[in-house]
Structure 1
Amino acid sequence: MDFKDDDRAREIGLTRLSKAVSRALRHEPWLFELELDEHGWTSTDGLLEALRREIPEWSDLELADLPMLIDFAAKPRHEIQGQRIRALYGHSTPGAIALVAATPPAELFHGTSPESIGSIFSGGLQPMSRQYVHMSADAETAVRVGSRKSKHPVILTIDTVAALASDVTFYRGSDMVWLARHVPAEFIRILRAG
């Protein structure tokens, strides 16, 4: 998307983009499958990938668009250092995602695409290009996350009681997100098929 073509289109595009970036970095990083460090930083590549998935018109969003977004704002809302970006203020998440091993609810949820089911049931939930598998505390959030991957996401449930008994470690990311390095297939079942 070329934000430079027309002032009106630029303003609308950058305003919408700014709101999406703020939502991802301040309020709901788990919906964008982003991991924030203890200072709120995440990779620019991860954010761009999430935004491209979010809005079809942003499929050609580039790294150079992020500084333009920052310059567009009436007051600084985000900052970039190297290959990292963060929101400067206004976080509603209870701190950035810190890895604290904890006992999760008896059941967690994960939304995914139908195409991923075969590999999940053969090798479990893997972090893929991220450091951790992201799981939701409720099915509704898993549906929202899964909808970013497919129009008809598959919603999985994770039996955390059995997984904990087999030494799977879960980390509390926030009230809504739980993390693990790997969840074996034996603890996963389909709650809702795509």
Structure 2
Amino acid sequence: MRSIYKCVICGSYTEDTVHCGVQTKLLLNGKLRSRLSHLMTYLLRHNPGAVNLSMDREGWVGIDELVNALRSRWDPKALSWLTKEHVIAVALLDPKGRFEIRNGMIRARYGHSKSLNVDIKYEVDSKVKTLYHGTTKEALVRIMREGIKPMNRKYVHLVLDPRDAYEVAIRHGNDVVILVVNADCLRKGGQQVLIATDRIRLVHYVPPQCIESVMNPRN
């Protein structure tokens, strides 16, 4: 990941070395940013109990509590540098909008494990027509028979851009395909298409008949 800098004029967090016409100050290098982002994702999506975080029904955790938990209970020596500002900067600049901050609280916007029983009220998307889901060719036969299931997560994640679907799929193998999903088909089946971020939509399940086609990204 790219390093995070802070503007010495306006105080904004940025990935650029120049802001407001002047040199910015390094806040977090790319390696530490990546490590902190993965830790935040793991705790806020899957296992807040690993550091005894108090998460409410909507997935919110106090930022101060998160920082203190990471510094005192996760890895005190390795994370002695961590401050509230680092957590806020990582959240605000996350390229996929994984995190949301409000009134001193932070949560993951999507991707929660079913076991957390988190219930976030998402806005409904009634307009989008086509969505995409990346997967491996190895999983394709099963998906075309059984549909796309959320597995151990609360929702199936779909995206608006096939390039984002490819980026997700390639993490699981080199031989990948992009599934084209008909959003109106999902709605006709009684499902709501939920807005997680400006790039990601959530549904409970994608039945095989709502998969319009399979794209080979290498063609």
| Equivalent residue runs for 1:91-102 within 5 Å | 91-92=92-93, 93=97, 95=100, 96-97=108-109, 98=120, 99-102=122-125
Which residue of structure 1 lines up, in the alignment, with residue 33 of structure 2?
Answer: 19
- Cα deviation, 1:52-95, whole Å, max 9, x if unaligned, reads xxxxxxxxxxxxx95358615353567xxxxxxxx445424383
Letter in 2 for 1:151: N
Structure 2 unaligned spans of 5+? 1-28, 49-72, 101-107, 110-119
Letter in 2 for 1:171: L
Task: Give me the TM-score of the superposition, normalised by structure 2.
Answer: 0.54
| Equivalent residue runs for 1:10-159 within 5 Å | 17-23=31-37, 41-44=44-47, 67=75, 71-73=79-81, 75-76=83-84, 87-89=87-89, 90-92=91-93, 93=97, 95=100, 96-97=108-109, 98=120, 99-103=122-126, 105-159=128-182
Task: Sort the Cα spacing of 1:109 and 1:66 in 2 relative to 1 into closer, same or farther, 3 A.
Answer: farther
Task: Sort the Cα spacing of 1:75 and 1:136 in 2 relative to 1 into closer, same or farther, 3 A.
Answer: same
Q: 1:172 aligned to 2:195?
A: yes
Q: How many residues align?
A: 144
Q: Matches of 1:77 and 1:21 in 2, distance apart?
A: 15
The structure in which a higher percent of residues are strand is 2
The structure in which a higher percent of residues are helix is 1
Q: Matches of 1:148 and 1:68 in 2, distance apart?
A: 30
Which residue of structure 1 lines up, in the alignment, with residue 216 of structure 2?
Answer: 192
Task: Sort the Cα spacing of 1:71 and 1:140 in 2 relative to 1 into closer, same or farther, 3 A.
Answer: same
Task: Sort the Cα spacing of 1:155 and 1:107 in 2 relative to 1 into closer, same or farther, 3 A.
Answer: same
Task: Sort the Cα spacing of 1:183 and 1:75 in 2 relative to 1 into closer, same or farther, 3 A.
Answer: same
Task: Give me the TM-score of the superposition, normalised by structure 1.
Answer: 0.60
TM-fit CA distance, 1:23: 4.8
Contact 1:126 1:181 in 2 (8 A): yes
TM-fit CA distance, 1:149: 1.2
Pair member with larger Rg = 2
- Cα deviation, 1:15-56, whole Å, max 9, x if unaligned, reads 655322455588xx7xxxx8x9xxxx22249xxxxxxxxxxx
Q: Matches of 2:204 and 2:191 in 1, distance apart?
A: 8
Using CA pairs under 8 Å that are at least 6 residues apart, name the structure with larger relative contact order, 1 or 2: 1
Q: Matches of 2:179 and 2:170 in 1, distance apart?
A: 13
Compute the RMSD of aligned alpha carbons.
Answer: 3.4
Contact 1:147 1:153 in 2 (8 A): yes
Contact 1:104 1:178 in 2 (8 A): no
Contact 1:157 1:191 in 2 (8 A): yes
Q: Matches of 2:77 and 2:132 in 1, distance apart?
A: 34
Letter in 2 for 1:170: V
